[in-house]
Amino acid sequence: CHPEDFIEPNPKLVDALREAADVMPIAIATNSPSDLGKRILGLLGVDDELMAQMTIVGPDTIGVSKPDPMFFERVAVALGVDPEACIAMGDDYVNDAFPPVELGMGAAVVNGPDQAIELLRLATDEAQFEPIDLSDLAQDDYRPGEVSIVAFTGRAGAGKTTTAQEYKRRCDQMGIPAAILSLDSFFKLSSKGRKAWLAEGEALGPEEYSRRADQMSWWDFEAAVDALETLRRGEPVHLTNVYNRADGGELTGEVTIVPPPEGMVIIFEGVASAHLSGHVDRVVAINAHPKVRKDRLLERDKHRGEKEARKRFEVTQGFENRYFQKHAAAAHLVLDNTNGSLFRVPQLSFT
């Protein structure tokens, strides 16, 4: 390996690392031997003083390689911090994002040094998380005489439904006509029917189960788009045989939305709403720390029994990892809901 042939000094990256290392513990964790990692850092322009501020590890020092989640746990141990207090940054979802998330870490996937630099700047407080007022957001979304649609997306347990309900409450307080339309209104099967369908797929083998566990097959997106476009034209929508959580997930619900002449805001809420960005006016992504989301989901599903609740969580996580890898960039606004208070997450300037 001759890294000298393709690595050049990067003063901006070195400065960003130096500023970050002054305020937080940093590990450079590689699947290469740690000495090669140090050599590459030297070629980038990292001097001995900065190198001494950071923890540089590889399989030769911690005994395991990526994508084993244990790699990230041992990196946290080497840093002397709790894994849940860490965020992993890398350029590959399989090696650098999914494994640390399994441990309850945060994770960020970047494409090249410029993105890494910007993320380091955010971490060193050059950009602050700002509290957001949903009333201001609602006022901005409402256009008198028109129907505007705001989609709330995000992983299960992040607080999409709670945020959508609070947004609706703020609209009501300000006299803005508003209605919630849940993506779950377009479930093809009841909870019992879907459970039986998944069990049947599992009995047929891993390939069929994997196909059925892909939640993109659970919703009728054609019907969802038809409803959204009907509402955008100011026309009423009436849905029957709708998923009814209050009735144990049976398809016994109804949804009726009649846009008034003064216009209204439609709050379209659901995990897989991001890829429908062409049919809405704004996509708001709700985020929360992985451990917080997991705890919320296990608490919500505890009536199902621990084993089934954990299995549901694993199925959901697998789908969401794939979904947001493709569609996270659709969000116009990202809000953090880890502590139950909404904060605007600084968005990187790159696309």
Structure tokens at 284: 């708001």
d(CA 275, CA 328): 9
Q: 350 falls in which pLDDT band (50, 70, 90)? A: very low
CB half-sphere exposure, 268, CA atoms < 13 A: 29
Among 81-85, 100-104, 158-162, name the most confident range.
158-162
Average pLDDT of the chain, as a whole number = 89
d(CA 142, CA 117): 37
Q: Tell me the CATH class for 3-123.
A: alpha beta
Query: Picking from 17-21, 100-104, 150-154, 159-163, which range would have the lowest pLDDT averaged per residue?
Result: 100-104
Q: 302 falls in which pLDDT band (50, 70, 90)? A: confident
Neighbours of 122 (CB within 10 A): 17
Q: 118 falls in which pLDDT band (50, 70, 90)? A: confident
For residue 287, list its beta bridge partners.
336
Q: For helices 306-327 and 206-213, what crossing angle results, to 10°? A: 70
The pTM (predicted TM-score) of the whole model is: 0.71
Tell me which residue of 330, 294, 311 sits closest to 156, measured CA to CA: 294
Q: 3 falls in which pLDDT band (50, 70, 90)? A: low
Mean pLDDT confidence for 343-350: 61
Structure tokens at 258: 């009649």
Query: Picking from 71-75, 103-107, 259-263, 271-275, which range would have the lowest pLDDT averaged per residue?
Result: 103-107
Tell me which residue of 162, 99, 198, 192 sits closest to 300, measured CA to CA: 162
Neighbours of 144 (CB within 10 A): 10
pLDDT of residue 230: 98
Structure tokens at 223: 């019907």
Q: Which helix (H) or strand (E) segment is 76 a member of? A: helix 69-79
pLDDT of residue 349: 42
Structure tokens at 151: 């989609």
pLDDT of residue 287: 87
pLDDT of residue 351: 30
Query: Picking from 21-25, 91-95, 286-290, 312-316, which range would have the lowest pLDDT averaged per residue?
Result: 312-316
pLDDT tens for each residue of 176-189? 999 999 999 999 99
345 pLDDT above the threshold of 90: no
Q: 338 falls in which pLDDT band (50, 70, 90)? A: confident
- Provide the percentage of residues in the chain whose pLDDT is more than 70: 95
Tell me which residue of 58, 42, 57, 51 sits closest to 7, measured CA to CA: 42
pLDDT tens for each residue of 126-166? 445 678 999 999 999 999 999 999 999 998 899 999 999 99
Mean pLDDT confidence for 324-341: 87
- Where in the sequence of the chain do the CATH 3.40.50.300 domains occur? 130-344
pLDDT of residue 185: 97
Structure tokens at 138: 């609602």
pLDDT tens for each residue of 181-237? 999 999 999 999 999 999 999 999 999 998 998 899 999 999 999 999 999 999 999
Mean pLDDT confidence for 272-279: 96
270 pLDDT above the threshold of 60: yes
Q: 101 falls in which pLDDT band (50, 70, 90)? A: confident
- Where in the sequence of the chain do the CATH 3.40.50.1000 domains occur? 3-123
CATH superfamily, with its number, for domain 130-344:
P-loop containing nucleotide triphosphate hydrolases (3.40.50.300)
Among 107-116, 117-126, 329-338, name the most confident range.
329-338
279 pLDDT above the threshold of 90: yes
**DSSP 8-class letter at 15:** H
Q: 5 falls in which pLDDT band (50, 70, 90)? A: low
